[in-house]
Amino acid sequence: MRILTKRSLSIFLSAAFACSAMYLSALDIKLPELSSIIPFGTPFSSNAKWGYVPRIEATMEPLSGNASYPASGALIYRQQEAPLKTVFGFPLGEAEAVFNMDGFITIMSGIGKGGHDPASGAISAGTIAGTAGGSGIYQQGILGLRIFDMKKASWINPFFFAGGIMDQIPPVIEGITLIEETKSGSKGKVYPIQLRPAQLRPGQKGSASECPQGHYLVHIQAWDIINREMPNRAAPFRFVVRLNGTSAVDVSMISAQYSEKGIMFLGNEAPSSNALAEGGMWMVGRISLPRGVHELEVELSDFQGNKTLVRTAIVAY
């Protein structure tokens, strides 16, 4: 059994750089036809013993029932089934890492028995690595795929390589909360925001959310369903917050930066759990509210551009 540590990860990435001169074909990642997918960024269940954190992999169920390599390259690492947490934050199960062109690494985890001989270094896209799932945290038929961009030290969202999946339903916004930032930088009082539109004149009260003037963390309770054939709740792709018509927050799930302290989602500091507040609300950024009446606009997009827009009014006193 091999378990990745931070030191072994460093050696692992250095070895991958050395492979770059050997494999000079263009990066071409393509996922197999899928019956379901839980995208990058979607939180694990709050009951998961590894904590309530966004995932860096796409969890997918291939229609074929097989685990096939999504890209050609050099097999640079193989981990036999690991029941313990690794540097990636949770057990990978049977996992293989392939170095691809331009400094990308694809890591497939949860591989079952059979398929490609791991002793062979060269990998061709579409080659069967084994059955899908059945090792680590993955049930039979389920795989995990992670894509690492070595140049940017970031985990990349694999969903963009999932051809044939149509995201047909726009995201759902269930709640917006402002959490006061104190002068010491700690979190203060919580102010839930009404989601119905409101038209107010300066000094008028009672028809909109109210809070003291100050600096606030913006938390959004939201989720997405890709389509009715894939009913699992997923993370929205893009979060935009506008204050009085001006963009104040614009973050997305296109990637997550890697650091020694952990993984950074949506511009938050590591570890990745900082991107999620209690109850699974996304921490998407900060706004400042001077005294007066303000229009708050929240727009969420899914992976194929379907949008949900909420406008409301806030009176800062």
pLDDT of residue 3: 41
Q: Where in the chain is the domain with CATH 2.60.40?
A: 172-316
Which CATH number is 172-316's, of 2.60.40, 2.30.30, 3.40.50, 3.30.230?
2.60.40
DSSP string, 234-270: E--SEEEEEETTEEEEEEESSEEEEETTEEE-TTPPS
Q: 309 falls in which pLDDT band (50, 70, 90)?
A: very high
pLDDT of residue 22: 37
Cβ-contact 158, 297 below 8 angstroms: no
Distances in whole angstroms, Cα of residue 261 to Cα of each of 51, 84, 194, 272: 16, 19, 36, 9
pLDDT tens column, 151-161: 899 999 988 78
Number of helical (H) and strand (E) elements in the chain, helices listed first: 1, 22
With vertex at residue 77, the alpha carbon angle to CA 73 and CA 81, rounded to the nearest 5 degrees, is: 130
Nearest to 138 by CA among 236, 55, 196: 55
E strand or H helix at 226: strand 214-227
**pTM, rounded to two decimals:** 0.80
Cβ-contact 194, 176 below 8 angstroms: no
Token pair belonging to 14: 């250095």
Cβ-contact 95, 101 below 8 angstroms: no
Q: How many residues does the chain have?
A: 317
| Residue 279 pLDDT exceeds 60 | yes
Ramachandran angles phi, psi of 7, nearest 5°: -70, -45
Distances in whole angstroms, Cα of residue 152 to Cα of each of 8, 104, 124, 156, 256: 19, 10, 25, 10, 10
**Section 255-271 average pLDDT:** 91
Give the residue with greater pLDDT, 38 vs 8: 38
Alpha helices, DSSP H only, in the chain? 6-18
pLDDT tens column, 201-250: 444 444 578 999 999 999 999 988 886 666 677 889 999 999 999 999 99
| Residue 264 pLDDT exceeds 90 | yes
pLDDT of residue 83: 54
Q: Which residues contact 65 (CB under 8 A, 6 or more apart)?
A: 131, 132, 141
Cβ-contact 130, 111 below 8 angstroms: yes
pLDDT of residue 285: 95
Q: What's the chain's average pLDDT?
A: 79
E strand or H helix at 288: strand 282-289
Question: One-letter amino acid identity for 284?
Answer: V
**Section 182-204 average pLDDT:** 67
Q: 251 falls in which pLDDT band (50, 70, 90)?
A: very high
User: Per mean pLDDT, which range of 3-17, 137-151, 159-173, 285-299 is the poorest?
Assistant: 3-17
| Residue 92 pLDDT exceeds 80 | no
Nearest to 106 by CA among 82, 74, 134: 74
Q: Where in the chain is the domain with CATH 2.70.70.10?
A: 6-161
Token pair belonging to 43: 């939180």
pLDDT tens column, 112-156: 877 666 566 788 888 888 888 877 778 888 999 999 998 899 999
- Third-level CATH fold of 6-161: Glucose Permease (Domain IIA) (2.70.70)
